[in-house]
Chains A and B, each alone.
Chain A
Amino acid sequence: MKFGFRHADKFVGLFILVAVVFLGSALVVTSINRRWFARDYEYFTRFTSANGLSVGMPLELRGFEIGKIKSYTLNADNKVDVTIVIYDTYIDKATEGSVIELAVSPIGLGGGLNFYPGTVSDRILDEFSYIPSNKSAEGKALLMSDKVDKPDGEDAIAAIMDNINPILLGVDNMINSLTGIGNQVESALAGNQATPLGGMLVNLEATTAELNTLLPAIDAILLEVAKMSRSLSLLMVELEDPTGLVPTLLDPSGSLETMLNDDNEMYGYITSILGEIQTNLENLSSMTNDLKGITPELNMVLDETTGAIQEGKKVLEGLSNNPLLRGGISEEASADYQHATLRDEEF
């Protein structure tokens, strides 16, 4: 029989047991967290407005949640009746003469419901009894008579400031950081730091000094440039002047007029020069043609001359290498050039 089948009862028992334990644990933890089985004591208070109130809003005593708002309604006198519950663990705080304060930010920064225990007696308030708010006449009287355990400075604004404090702390830290940076820059500018910033400032000083030495030379160059600019300006003025250079050249009694009215003497002279140049060019052209015609012969003559020179070179080498004189003629493989021109080769 299969192992599982034989012990099916045990497996099923374990299967159910673990599931039940997990379920039970989850229920217990949830019930504790949600106060399913805890005793809550109900009281009521009254406010002039429901602004800032919400069901489930925590009732706090010195930052500890001791209860919450259960419900609130508008009564016949246009006042807001608020039902609150106080947890059993804090019920001893709900003594006679206690006051409830609603702190609401006028600029929408939230609010809170604060509980101030009475100090007149230790008698715990009866359930469903009335706890005055700080806006009511009873509440004001209790607060004025100093019979309420209200820490110094803890009021509506203080409650709101509790919410704003983390933000202010952040701003404070930021300002501190900025101050630190400012001090560092100031110290670096004073040359008291060996940090990168100080080094940069030292380098900047050296660069400025070098720049100061260069400035006279730059001034001289600039003076030259100014002179050039002035000359250019004068030239431009001359060109723009209607009595300037160009009219002088074009004047009827000027140089051009003289050159143009010389009875074609200059023209004839130039024509003769051009004729001579043409004659020379024609001669050059005929010479070029002749040279073109005798180019193959010239090539052959040059080849033969080259061969004769090589032979002469050999003779001279033989003479220089003669055993009687030096060491004889060195042997050499013949490498005759077989083609007269490059076109005679077959590729």
Chain B
Amino acid sequence: MIESVGRWFREKLTGFSYAFNFFLFLLKETAHFPWNKRVGFKVLIMQIYFTGVEALSVIALISLGIGAVIIIQGIAILPMFGQGNLMYTILIMVITRELGPLLTAFIITARSGSAITTELGNMVISHEIEAYLSIGIHPVSYLGVPRLYGVILAMLFLNIYFNLFGLLGSYLVASFLHDIPFTDYLMNLVLALTPADIISTFLKSIIFGFIIAVVSIYYGFNVNRAVTEVPQNTIKSIGMSITLCIIADAILVVVTRL
């Protein structure tokens, strides 16, 4: 009993130590990436393409729907309490500050995080990682870092698109139901938008993107030799990414509201 507890603790400690060292190494390589003139840039572009461009339709649809629902409900309910102008504050609060970064993070986790883990895990099993090492290319630098940059940038830009479709696209839906001049709508939105909202949403995007990328890369390289490890690690990476994103979101909300 005591031996098994000790073994479990030693394995956890070893695993945590490995993860921490991996994280530090990834950070170091990430810092060096802009000065690295090797072919990693092409990997970065492809990663932004897969993570950002290909997810744009899903993001647009979701943000349009959420924005429309908020504005329709707001127009219907808030004027009853004489708080019609709060609709714009709620739009900014929900789309820009909260749901935008979080939903984008969930979508990227489901689409790209799982893909990164699976791809890297399969490369480990097929000994491609060893091949890179044999020719002097570090797999974390060449495969991991561009993916990290790609996911963070894609997350950042997708969040901007989420706001674009959520805030402006919702106007199109609302204009079918109510006669709201576009200039009034835009001016009220701008009045409701504060620098804190912009900083908060960008900060969240970068942190969520970083979490998703690091977790996905780590679990991808964490595969050892069996093919069955790939789906297991993929599931773990998705669960861990979502959990960490929600925790980070809660911390950021508390910090930005202090």
Query: B160–A23 contact, CB under 8 A?
Result: yes
Interface residues of A in 64-106 (CB under 8 A from B): none
Which residues in B have their C-beta under 8 angstroms from that of A15? 48, 52-53, 56, 157
Once the chains are docked, how many angstroms separate the CA of A115 from the CA of B57?
A: 54
Which residues in A have their C-beta under 8 angstroms from that of B52? 12, 15
Of the candidate stretches A28-36, A190-198, A336-344, the one touching chain B is A28-36
Which residues in B have their C-beta under 8 angstroms from that of A27? 198
* Interface range on chain A (Cβ under 8 Å from partner): 10 to 19
Q: Does A200 contact B (CB under 8 A)?
A: no
Q: Does A26 contact B (CB under 8 A)?
A: yes
Q: Does A22 contact B (CB under 8 A)?
A: yes
Which residues in A have their C-beta under 8 angstroms from that of B195? 30, 34
Interface residues of A in 202-243 (CB under 8 A from B): none
Query: B198–A33 contact, CB under 8 A?
Result: no
User: If the complex has contacts A26-B193, A30-B198, A33-B191, are A11 and B53 also in contact, measured as CB distance less than 8 A?
Assistant: yes
Interface residues of A in 22-60 (CB under 8 A from B): 22-23, 26-27, 29-30, 33-34
User: If the complex has contacts A8-B46, A12-B45, A15-B52, are A30 and B190 also in contact, measured as CB distance less than 8 A?
Assistant: yes
Q: Does A9 contact B (CB under 8 A)?
A: yes
- The B contact surface, by secondary structure, is helix
Query: B157–A19 contact, CB under 8 A?
Result: yes
Q: Does A124 contact B (CB under 8 A)?
A: no
Q: Does B161 contact A (CB under 8 A)?
A: yes
Q: Does B49 contact A (CB under 8 A)?
A: yes
Query: A11–B49 contact, CB under 8 A?
Result: yes
Query: B161–A19 contact, CB under 8 A?
Result: yes
Once the chains are docked, how many angstroms separate the CA of A11 from the CA of B163?
A: 20
Contact partner of B164 among A4, A22, A33, CB < 8 A?
A22
Query: B53–A12 contact, CB under 8 A?
Result: yes
Give the interface of A toward B (CB within 8 A).
Answer: 4-5, 8-9, 11-12, 15-16, 18-19, 22-23, 26-27, 29-30, 33-34
Q: Which 4 A-B pairs have the closest CB atoms?
A: A19-B157, A19-B160, A8-B49, A11-B53
Q: A19-B157, A26-B198, A27-B198 are in contact. List 16 more A-B contacts (CB 8 A).
A: A4-B49, A4-B53, A8-B45, A8-B53, A9-B45, A11-B53, A12-B45, A12-B48, A12-B49, A12-B53, A15-B157, A19-B164, A22-B160, A26-B190, A26-B193, A29-B186
